[in-house]
């Protein structure tokens, strides 16, 4: 039905899925990489940097902002975006715990 049954999963599993979904589109990956690269706020040139229409970029930015991964401060007529360092670190801990699971290589299968 296009609707994930989140109620049957743990908070941790749902949280991982939410973060992962945010990274599940190359435009959002590109936005975040650019914010890291310039290591500062970016005011507006994201539409030029990435090749999508302005409303589309705005929508992707909104998703990242809703998740808390970026901040957007109004600066006169433009808006200043940057990584939310604290949220990014928190997300990194959650994702790393998931990704860094390790196999003890018991090798009795496959």
Q: 7-29 burial by CB neighbour count: b if 16+ within 10 A, else e? A: eeeeeeeebbeebeebeeeebbe
Residues of this chain, 18-77, that bind its own copies according to CB under 8 A: 20-30, 32-33, 36, 39-41, 50-52, 71, 73
Reference 89, options 72, 60, 68; nearest CA is 68
| Calpha distance 27→56 (Å, rounded) | 9
Beta bridge partners of 70: 83
Q: Which does 53 bind (CB under 5 to 8 A by kind): its own copies, DNA, none?
A: DNA
Which range touches DNA (CB under 7 A), out of 31-39, 75-83, 84-92, 95-103? 75-83
| 58 near DNA (CB under 7 A) | yes
| 68 near DNA (CB under 7 A) | no
Residues engaged in binding DNA (CB under 7 A): 1-5, 21, 24-25, 27, 43-44, 47, 52-63, 72, 74, 76-79
């Amino acid at each position: 039905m296009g609707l994930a049954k989140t109620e049957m999963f743990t908070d941790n599993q749902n949280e991982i899925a939410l973060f992962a979904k945010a990274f599940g589109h190359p435009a959002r990956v590109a936005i975040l990489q650019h914010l890291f690269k310039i290591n500062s706020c970016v005011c507006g040139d994201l539409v030029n940097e990435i090749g999508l229409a302005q409303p589309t970029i705005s929508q992707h930015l909104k998703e990242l902002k809703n998740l808390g991964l970026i901040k957007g401060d109004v600066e006169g007529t433009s808006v200043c975006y940057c990584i939310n360092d604290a949220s990014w670190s928190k997300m990194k801990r959650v994702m790393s715990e998931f990704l860094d699971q390790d196999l003890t290589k018991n090798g009795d299968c496959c």
